[in-house]
């Protein structure tokens, strides 16, 4: 048995090269290849002004974009990952954690807190693709779980912006169990009539899509985001055929009935507010 | 008494090679004794003793990768064997009421010991035709939805749920994605966490990632001694982190996927012992141990008030994780 379900890291990192905003004053959009002025892209919420390509953004930028100015208060910022397994691949997990932290200035791949979106109080969790491709280990699982609990305690709607390659291999079954932990806590939120708006961004795959990301009361997705259980390369290797056009992209999932709306980044704030109002939260 | 079929194939575990010579000698002596007057009982006994000693020695320090190989041994009892041996009057129930009937997931009412229950189990298939139909034990969304639909039925009639896990992972295919593999697995965990009947799970072979956890959110989770349970298969992990599937052995070690390792991580509650040399050497004895654990666990869980049971199940998963906080 040589089959290896799960996403391919290569898929994700390749997509990462296409998705991140490159360095420099001017940059070439990886999708439409137009030369665009970097500041314009940033002012445009990191969306290409020419072709609407949605770049991947860090958790801080995301929280700032979604919340009313100065309203986001981060929580549990002191929580940091540990190497419970003594995991060593090309380099030790311990070392990887230090390097990733230096690279993106965060101790792990999620930023959570309280904030306001168009005046509506929310609990917000944003995943950060810059930290080990947004992978979910104990810290991500615990912080998302606490966010759900905070939403219950404060009776605020919960908004989680997912951006992740899936569960983090370096914490093995501890990572895996975070799927059950977050799903079980969401069941509690559901029981008390809470509102969970799940926002999927590029990419949302593996153990994150197969747990809290797909459990939203309402699920929104940014345009053309890669969303799925297994990575496209793993699927192509398994079925040995070419994958259909647009396969596993937001629009495809919309067509298949797995998400509620595809929403442009500039409309996220108003769309989230609207749903909060309809739910009476 | 129904028994599991004994494996008669020729699958060979590399690390068991030192045993082969002894086995050959024993067979030779035994066949020789049939045609001669010489009494060789003592010699055979001696050889068998050293065979047992060597087997003990090999299995005492098996290593993670060899454990994975034992877990995948074609002669290892599959869920269907467990059901055949331990379940009296198994009443299989088919279909997910949405799309189809996934043969990679078996569900049905059964009696295990004195307990009426619902069994939910991965199915790998016995011969080539079955294996292909079951995608080698990789269930589709309809398999997970079938499991959930039957678990809701069990809840309605107050029947405890027994799940047997044996999968390399959920199926990664076009149809599986289009029918919402991720959503199906997520929904199962969500609903199992609050199902108002006792749930016990046993990883009987392979516990591959979300495909395993999708039917393993239980009050008690056990692993058979030589089963594996991990966030990803060793081959998948090797391909991603070492960039070559050949590093699977290293990945298996790093992933801490054995029963003993998972006990240390508190991700499983118990390891169910297997006969010396693995379940494939004595399937009936292996299944008897599993049955004993299931019966005992259900007896204990049935004593809890339902609210208490569900709370404890939640807490069991809520506390898993390892991090520091300043």
Please tell me the predicted confidence (pLDDT) of residue A3.
38
Nearest CA in chain B to A226: B177
* pLDDT beyond 70 at A162: yes
Give residue A20's pLDDT band: very low, low, confident or very high (50, 70, 90). Answer: low
Q: Which residues contact B208 (CB under 8 A, 6 or more apart)?
A: A5, B167, B168, B169, B230, B232, B233
pLDDT surpassing 70 at residue A2: no
pLDDT for res A14: 52
Chain B residues near residue A203 by CB distance under 8 angstroms: none
Written as one string, the DSSP assignment of B28-85 is HHHHHHHH-S---HHHHHHHHHHHHHHHHHHHHT--HHHHHHHHT-TTSPPHHHHHHH
**For range B287-305, the mean pLDDT:** 98
| Secondary-structure breakdown of chain A: helix, strand, coil percentages, each rounded to the nearest 5 | 40, 20, 35
| A138, A234, A258 member nearest B323 (Cβ) | A138
Q: How far is CA B178 from the centre of its chain?
A: 28
- Angle, CA of A84, A85 and A86, to the nearest 5°: 100
Which residues numbered 160-179 in A keep a CB inside 8 Å of some CB on B? Answer: 167-169, 171-179
Residue A6 has pLDDT above 70, yes or no: no
Q: CB distance from A51 to chain B under 8 Å? A: no
Chain A partners of B183 at a C-beta cutoff of 8 Å? 210, 214, 258
Least confident of A118-122, A147-151, B172-176, B239-243: B239-243
A256 vs B contacts (CB less than 8 Å): 178-180
pLDDT digits (tens, 9 = 90+) for A205-218: 999 999 999 999 99
Interface A:B, Cβ pairs < 8 A:
242
Q: A236 in contact with B at a CB cutoff of 8 Å? A: no
CA distance B42 to B48: 10
Cβ distance B193 to A183 less than 8 Å, yes or no, reads yes
How many Cβ atoms sit within 10 Å of the Cβ of residue A2?
A: 10
pLDDT higher than 80, residue A1: no
pLDDT at residue B43, as a whole number: 85
User: What tokens were used for B278?
Assistant: 């693995």
Give the model's pLDDT for residue B33: 73
A chain contacts of residue B98, beta-carbon cutoff 8 Å = none
Report which DSSP code applies to B240. I
Q: B68, B172, B205: best mutation site toward chain A, by most A Cβ within 10 Å?
A: B172
Task: For residues B313 and B197, give the distance between their C-alpha atoms in angstroms, rounded to a whole number.
Answer: 11
The residue to which tokens 């003990």 are assigned: B56
Q: Are strands A35-37 and A261-262 parallel, antiparallel or unpaired?
A: unpaired
What was the ipTM of the complex prediction?
0.94
What are the tens digits of pLDDT across the range A163-177? 999 999 999 999 999
Determine the Cα–Cα distance for residues B122 and B166; give it in Å rounded to an integer: 5
Query: Lowest-pLDDT range, A35-39, B69-73, B213-217?
Result: A35-39
In angstroms, the separation between the Cα of residue A51 and the nearest Cα of chain B is 27
Q: What fold is seen in the domain A56-278?
A: 2-enoyl-CoA Hydratase; Chain A, domain 1 (3.90.226)
Read off the pLDDT of residues A45-102 as tens digits, 9 standing for 90 and up.
999 999 999 999 999 999 999 999 999 999 999 999 999 999 999 899 999 999 999 9
The confidence band for B5, taking pLDDT boundaries of 50, 70 and 90, is low
Q: What are the chain B neighbours of A76 within 8 Å (beta carbons)?
A: 325
Residue A7 confidence (pLDDT): 44
pLDDT at A22: 58
Q: Is B111 exposed, middle or buried (0-12, 13-18, 19+ CB in 10 A)?
A: middle
The full set of domain ranges for chain A reads 1-53, 56-278
How far CA A256 is from CA of A92, A149, A166, B101, B280, in Å, comes to: 41, 31, 22, 20, 43
Query: Residue A88 is encoded by which pair of tokens?
Result: 């060593």
């Amino acid at each position: 048995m040589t089959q290896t379900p799960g996403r391919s890291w290569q898929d994700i990192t390749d997509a990462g090269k296409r998705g991140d905003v490159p360095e420099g004053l001017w940059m070439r959009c990886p999708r439409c290849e137009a030369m665009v002025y970097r500041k314009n892209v940033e002012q445009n919420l990191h969306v290409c002004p020419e072709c609407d390509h949605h770049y991947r953004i860090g958790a801080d930028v995301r929280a700032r974009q979604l919340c009313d100015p100065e309203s986001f208060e981060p929580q549990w910022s002191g929580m940091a990952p540990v190497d419970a397994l003594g995991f060593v691949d090309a380099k030790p997990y311990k070392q990887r954690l230090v390097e990733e932290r230096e690279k993106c200035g965060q101790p792990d791949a999620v930023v959570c807190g309280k904030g306001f979106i168009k005046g509506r109080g929310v609990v917000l969790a944003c995943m950060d693709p810059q930290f080990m491709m947004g992978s979910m280990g104990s810290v991500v699982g615990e912080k998302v779980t606490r966010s759900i609990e905070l939403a219950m305690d404060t009776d605020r709607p919960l908004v989680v912006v997912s951006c992740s390659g899936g569960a983090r291999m370096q914490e093995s079954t501890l990572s895996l169990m975070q799927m059950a932990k977050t799903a079980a806590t969401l069941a509690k939120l559901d029981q008390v009539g809470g509102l969970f708006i799940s926002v999927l961004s590029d990419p949302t795959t593996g153990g994150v899509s197969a747990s809290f990301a797909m459990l939203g009361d309402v699920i929104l997705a940014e345009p053309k985001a890669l969303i799925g259980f297994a990575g496209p390369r793993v699927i192509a290797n398994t079925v040995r055929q070419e994958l259909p056009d647009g396969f596993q992209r937001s629009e495809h999932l919309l067509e298949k009935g797995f998400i509620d709306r595809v929403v442009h980044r500039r409309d996220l704030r108003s769309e989230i507010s609207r749903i909060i109002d309809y739910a009476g939260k | 008494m129904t028994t599991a079929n004994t494996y008669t194939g020729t699958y060979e575990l590399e690390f068991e090679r030192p045993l082969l010579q002894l086995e050959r000698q024993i067979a030779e002596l035994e066949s020789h004794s049939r045609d001669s007057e010489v009494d060789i009982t003592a010699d055979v006994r001696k050889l068998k003793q050293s065979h047992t000693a060597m087997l003990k020695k090999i299995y005492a320090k098996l290593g993670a990768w060899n454990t994975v190989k034992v877990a995948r041994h074609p002669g290892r009892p599959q869920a269907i064997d467990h059901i055949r041996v331990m379940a009296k009057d198994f009443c299989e129930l088919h279909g997910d009421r949405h799309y189809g009937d996934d043969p990679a997931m078996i569900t049905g009412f059964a009696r295990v010991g004195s307990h009426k229950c619902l069994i939910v189990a991965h199915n790998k298939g016995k011969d080539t035709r079955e294996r292909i139909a079951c995608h080698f034990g990789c269930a589709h969304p309809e398999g997970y939805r079938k499991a959930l639909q039957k678990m809701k039925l069990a809840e309605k009639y107050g029947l405890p749920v027994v799940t047997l896990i044996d999968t390399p992972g959920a199926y990664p295919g076009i149809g599986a994605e289009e029918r919402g593999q991720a959503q199906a697995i997520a929904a199962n965990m969500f609903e199992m966490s609050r199902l108002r009947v006792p749930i016990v799970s046993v990883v009987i072979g392979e516990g591959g990632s979300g495909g395993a956890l999708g039917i393993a959110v239980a009050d008690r989770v056990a692993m058979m001694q030589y089963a594996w349970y991990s966030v990803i298969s060793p081959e998948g992990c090797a391909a991603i982190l070492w960039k070559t599937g050949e590093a699977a052995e290293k990945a298996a070690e790093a992933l801490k996927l054995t029963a003993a390792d998972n006990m240390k991580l508190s991700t499983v509650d118990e390891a169910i012992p297997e006969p010396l040399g693995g379940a494939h050497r004595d399937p009936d004895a292996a299944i008897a141990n599993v049955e004993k654990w299931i019966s005992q666990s259900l007896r204990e869980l049935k004593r809890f008030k339902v609210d208490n049971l569900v709370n404890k199940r939640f807490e069991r998963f809520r506390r898993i994780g390892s991090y520091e906080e300043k």
